[in-house]
Structure 1
Amino acid sequence: MKAKDMSESKRLELIAEAVRYCQRVSAMGMPASVFSKALREPIHFLWERRAGSKTAAAQYRSISAVGLSFGKGKLVYDHAVPFICLQRRLLVLDTVDEPSNRALLERLNLIALITKDEDEILKSAGLNKSMPKDWDGNDPLARYREMGIELIPNRGAVNA
């Protein structure tokens, strides 16, 4: 069965199984760098890209990225909250089930389309794989606000 043909409940059930697997192997001492892909891929294909394209998956777009499309190396598919931060939150869940996964994914797994230059700004500030030091844990767009990257809702989004 293709991911796009699965019910949302089935996709969340599969993601929950991936979270439980990662929790088990982490507790056994496996480094996150080894098991991370076992969580990242199900979330990417079963949750983020459930509507198909990267453009449809992105809830936001920077003003500078308006009019840009993939294929020319100028547009970047960026997790508003870096995946490592989401992964940490998922791995400490006491109860791994559909409601807990849905709550975290809906709140923290947001995608923004930004320019390559804006991606470099985040990298140079050390914010490509982390949130700002004073992050409240709630505002998923905090990295962009801190760096002055203005976002607007993505008109092509299906998962918004």
Structure 2
Amino acid sequence: MHLKILLLLVAFLFFGCTYIPALPYKIDIQQGNVVTQEMIEKLKPGMTRSQVRFVLGTPLITDVFHNNRWDYFYYLAPRGTLSEKRTLTVIFDGDRLSHINGDFSLSPSSDNLLSATPRLGEERLPYLKEDQGENDKGSQE
């Protein structure tokens, strides 16, 4: 009787030591700038670059070819799955805030300069289309 219990106990120990989870542990990955709705609501037309930087933080990308444009990206992948991906583009006219585009909702009471997220098939930044057209004209000549 004691031998059966001992063998059963040893068998359980071996089976317990061989258990390995099917999937390895994956950490939450958060990258980019966190931009909240409250931050966007603070943006007003005519704000300077330093004021925008104070509200939103340092932009992730400052485009060398379009120095009037700042891009903010946010990416969150909890445990290896894409959960949230956000973009925000801030456009300046000189040193003053002109308008912004991005993946966010605007409150109806907002008297900001903001334009909402474009619908499927719409251009996000129309001035880029004009720049491309000028390049096409130059290549046709």
Q: One fold, TM greater than 0.5?
A: no
TM-score by length of 1: 0.27
How does the TM-score come out when normalised to structure 2?
0.29
State which structure, 1 or 2, has the greater radius of gyration over its C-alpha atoms: 2
Larger relative contact order, structure 1 or 2 (CA cutoff 8 Å, min sep 6)? 1
Bigger fraction of residues in helix = 1
